[in-house]
Amino acid sequence: MGKQDILNILEQVKAGAVSPDDALLKLRMEPFEDLGYAKLDHHREMRQGIAEVIYGAGKTPEQISGIVSAMVNRGQPRVLITRMSPAAAETLGKSFDLRYCEISRVGIVGETPAPDGTGKIVVATGGTSDMPIAEEAALTAEALGNTVTRLYDVGVAGLHRLLSHIDTIMEARAIVAIAGMEGALASVIGGLASCPVIGVPTSVGYGASFHGMSALLSMLNSCASGVSVVNIDNGFGAGYLASMINHM
């Protein structure tokens, strides 16, 4: 139950269309639904403004389908699933209107909402190899009602590629900077942008990058002000945070 649902119930009570007892019954409905293998937090949207998102890794196709069914049955207009396998997407697609991105392993059930954020979110990558994480961030932000501009393969090995988009960087409301190797992209963008920059270190790189640890430490040690950092390969977390900034 979202904030708007609560307001609708209160308005109905005010208008005399619903009795206080009936309204109380609706509000006292279980805040979570126990499916045995999952406990769905139906009140998350009411608390945080965004409904629960399904993390697909480690879940069977049948479990994901069951969770989606429960959310849709409770009136959720769209469901976002991250790290979903192609097998799970095939199963889910038989019962729901699913859009699935293989490169990011993100699935969306329901229509993408019209953007209602304040401005634009830029998602930039150091290289093409960072695109799976970048698309996870971009699709998450779009599913949460944001306009997203993608700037891919603009890393520091060819800085002129990034500088050719300086207007886009300067006009952004929030920027997600995604890079592996040494992770320098976040610092460079942080020194150019007037908005918050969210660094996403990726596990892309040769042996001494330690599966993203090198990029993570570089971003954490950024000398550019206004740079925050999420976990390695956490495109979802960055897209979610960027959406919160863009809706403030």
Alpha-carbon distance 71 to 66, whole Å?
A: 9
Alpha-carbon distance 5 to 18, whole Å?
A: 13
Domains of the chain as residue ranges with CATH: 31-109 (3.30.110), 120-246 (3.40.50.1970)
- Contact call for residues 174 and 163 (beta carbons, < 8 A): no
Find the DSSP H helices in 113-234. Answer: 131-143, 159-163, 166-171, 185-190, 213-220
pLDDT beneath 70: ranges in the chain: 1-5, 26-30, 33-34, 40, 43, 46
Summarize pLDDT for 195-223 with one digit per residue, the tens.
999 999 999 999 999 999 999 999 999 99
pLDDT at 1: 53
The identity of residue 169, as a single letter, is I
pLDDT at 34: 64
Summarize pLDDT for 33-71 with one digit per residue, the tens.
667 777 767 767 767 777 788 999 999 999 999 999 988
pLDDT at 2: 57
Alpha-carbon distance 201 to 136, whole Å?
A: 13
Answer positive or negative: Cα dihedral of 88, 90, 96, 102: positive
59 token code pair = 């879940």
Question: What value does the CA radius of gyration of the chain take, rounded to a whole number of Å?
Answer: 20
